[in-house]
Amino acid sequence: MSEETENDLHSDTPELYIPTGYGVIQNYLRRLDTSPGVYRMLNAKAEVLYVGKARNLKARVTNYSRPSAQHSARITRMISETASMMFLTTRTETEALLLEQNLIKQLKPRYNVLLRDDRSFPNILIRKEHAFPQIKKHRGKRSEKGSYFGPFASAGAVNRTLNQLQKVFLLRTCNDSIFTSRTRPCLLHQIKRCSAPCVGKVTPAEYATQVTNAEHFLQGKSTQIQAKLATAMTTASEAMEFERAAALRDRIRALTNVQQTQGINPRSVAEADVIALHLEGGQACVQVFFIRANQNWGNHDFYPRTGLGAEEAEILETFVTQFYNDKEPPRLVLLSHPVENPDLVCEMLAKRAMRKVELAVPLRGEKAELVENAARNARETLARRMAEGAAQSKLLMGLADTFNLDAPPKRIEIYDNAHIQGSDAIGGMVVAGPDGFIKGQYRKFNIKGAAGKTGDDFGMMKEMLTRRFERLLKEDPVRKSDAWPDLLLIDGGAGQVSAVAEVLTKLGVDDVPFIGVAKGIDRNAGKEEFYRPGEPAFALQRNDPVLYFIQRLRDEAHRWANGAHKAKRSKAISITPLDDVPGVGATRKRALLAHFGSAKAVARAGVSDLMAVDGISETMAQIIHDFFNEA
């Protein structure tokens, strides 16, 4: 690739007139050829307005340079603001499309359509690295060996399906270390959700059959499995093995329940993503339904930024290319609207999937019904969001009026910390904006400094805010991105507010307002007091909507921090010093604890005592002894 940059128009002299518009764009034509590539349009402040691709850069720029061309109002505004352009040439138009999406994601230009919720989706994984494969939820890169089934629309959809699959196929969900350390069946076996391969309750051949059946079900071959289970149940009943027949009956019921929870299961569509767009009032909602193995595995809604007025074809094309930028597309993608460059998009998706991918806009039949169902969901979801957004906007305006902010905040960050007398200290940050809570941007902070060990709440808040804003300053020192908050809400009173003020002053951040929210003298909801630097504390009326709004924000931060603290504490409970001893795995750890009764007793034992344990050689006994008795 090659790049040409034009920055000569810019100057540090504020009085200098910087030309913009058609004339500026025309000046680039003599230096462009017919290569494919990507172009960027910049304003007088060198901010990127738009990133676009072109099969022929010269032809595309020529179109922008003609005042007589029939441009939309959006494009006309963009041209009028353009003061310079940048170009990157590529070998093919597909390369240009991929590069365009990477630049849009990185630069977030005002006039581009942008997918703001770029999340990964969970899968079900049957791991094949063990003699008795484990079934589990998986998210992220497919690096583990095994069979993957998905994507599912949410972790909840995966968990519900896994829960039912356990009842039907009795596959283990525990990890390998727990599996090897079991000496008797766990609770899951007692409630008939695992066949207990860890203690030999099922043979490898029988377990392998169940794994195959689970894979067949996830591939859409459930009727065959039901027939086999029904035959086995009848055979057991005739043989008067009523307990086994009842167990098989329960598994058939669980299998039926899985099928019912899948929702609308298309007969003629084995594998597809159904993508439907609804555009209204400058806002867009895209619904994506995942169809795999003739089963509906759920849906998810997205709200892309529309680039100040883009139309359906551009929005949907940009959404598809950004959505599959880091995801493997299915063999068929059903759309509610045609895209601008279907052949190019198909080529890009095929390159991503390493196989053929078809785009279609169905007009009749079951496929059209699937698209219409997705479009109806998009329409109804956007209507609810717009209604909720109107109410949220009123609350944000009320918040701005109450605390004398310059404008309603677009990003509020709420901070809280949780610990028990300094143990397992953790900080939590939740984020809210015009569309409600932005859960994808919540953050947890493991408190690493002395404040966490001593239970110093002020010190914990200092550490959390220091780490947060140091990272912000490093990643975006000019503060252009929307990651910078407009308001901080701190769970605490004057002490926490002073701690935050000290941190922000030290870092030179003097334009982010912050407010402390304390529960007041009686510590009752409704009697909250608010603190700001250099101002007396004050309270709001008990029936003030702004007060209820702040309570919801604070309670969400409290829930998030407490949940993270409980998870950290639970994890710490299962850890013993033996976990850090080199060469001591699950089997030796189990043998040591069974022999001595506790890790503390192991630490006090001599070499000869350690050698009395099965599996502990003289060399290993010396390693364990030296670990606990270093000079």
Together in a domain, 83 and 213: no
Mean of pLDDT values over 269-289: 93
Q: pLDDT category, 5, cuts 50, 70, 90?
A: very low
Looking at the structure, tell me whether residues 377 and 301 fall in a common domain: yes
Within 8 A by CB and 6+ apart from 487, the residues are: 399, 403, 405, 409, 411, 412, 413, 512, 513, 514, 515
In a domain, residue 117? The reply is no
Q: Is residue 348 in some structural domain?
A: yes
Residue 26's domain comprises: 2-111
| pLDDT tens figures, 397-420 | 999 999 999 999 999 999 999 887
The verdict on 165 and 40 lying in the same domain is: no
pLDDT tens-place string over residues 408-457: 999 999 999 988 766 778 999 999 999 889 988 999 999 888 887 788 88
Q: In this structure, is residue 404 part of a structural domain?
A: no
Q: Which of 230, 261, 292 is the last residue of a domain?
A: 261
Same-domain status, 365 and 443 = no
Per the DSSP assignment, residues forming a β-bridge with 296 are 291
603 token code pair: 């630490």
Closest to 274 measured CA to CA, from 293, 292, 261:
292
Task: Give domain status of residue 394, yes or no.
Answer: no
CB-based contacts of 551: which residues, under 8 Å, 6+ apart? 525, 528
For residues 419 and 549, membership in a common domain is answered with: yes
Residue 390 lies in a domain: no
Number of domains in the chain: 5
| Helix/strand/coil for 114 | strand
The phi and psi torsions of 271 (rounded to 5 degrees) equal: -150, 120
Is the model's pLDDT at 76 over the cut of 80? yes
In this structure, the answer to whether residues 159 and 36 fall within a common structural domain is: no
Q: What is the 3-state secondary structure (H, E, C) of 425-468?
A: EEEEEEEEECCEECHHHCEEEECCCHHHHHCCHHHHHHHHHHHH
Q: How far apart are CA 77 and CA 115, in angstroms?
A: 22
Residue 400 lies in a domain: no
Q: What is the mean pLDDT of residues 133-147?
A: 91
428 lies in the same domain as 559: yes
Closest CA to 139 of 147, 151, 127: 151
* Domain co-membership, 353 together with 471: no
Tell me which residue of 290, 364, 296, 367 sits closest to 330, measured CA to CA. 290
**What is the percent of the chain where pLDDT is above 90?**
54
String of DSSP letters for 281-326: TTEEEEEEEEEETTEEEEEEEE--EETTT--HHHHHHHHHHHHTTS
Sequence-ordered list of residues with C-beta below 8 angstroms from that of 275, at least 6 positions apart, any chain: 286, 287, 288, 316, 319, 320, 323, 333, 334, 335, 336, 374
Split at pLDDT 50, 70, 90, the class of 590 is confident
- 132 with 164, same domain: the answer is yes
Q: Express each pLDDT in 516-560 by its tens digit.
A: 999 866 556 668 899 999 899 999 988 899 999 999 999 999 999
Domain end (from 241, 261, 281): 261
Mean model confidence pLDDT for the chain? 87
Short-list 386, 152, 374, CA closest to 274: 374
Q: Which residue, 261, 289, 313, sits at the end of a domain?
A: 261
Alpha carbons 62 and 67: distance in angstroms, whole number? 10
CATH of the domain at 7: 3.40.1440.10
Q: Using only C-alpha atoms, what is the Rg of the chain? A: 30
Nearest alpha carbon to residue 92 among 62, 56, 41, 52: 56
Residue type at 310 in one-letter notation = A
When pLDDT is cut at 50, 70 and 90, the band that residue 631 belongs to is very low
For residue 436, the domain's CATH number is 3.30.420.340
Q: Confidence class of residue 349 from pLDDT cuts 50, 70 and 90?
A: very high
In a domain, 487, yes or no: yes
The answer to whether the CB of 496 falls within 8 A of the CB of 459 is no
- Pair 496, 517 in one domain: yes
Let me know if residue 492 belongs to a domain.
yes
Characterise 583 by phi-psi region: left (phi > 0), alpha (psi -120 to 50), beta (else).
left
- 244 and 282 in a common domain: no
Please determine, for residue 165, whether its predicted confidence score (pLDDT) is greater than 60.
yes
Residue 498 has pLDDT above 50, yes or no: yes
Nearby residues of 419 by Cβ (< 8 Å), 6 or more positions away: 425, 426, 447, 452, 455, 460, 565
429 plus 536 within the same structural domain:
yes
Phi, psi (degrees; rounded to nearest 5) at 234: -65, -45
Identify which of 121, 140, 215 has the alpha carbon closest to the alpha carbon of residue 171. Answer: 215
Which of 51, 33, 45 lies closest to 7, judged by CA?
45
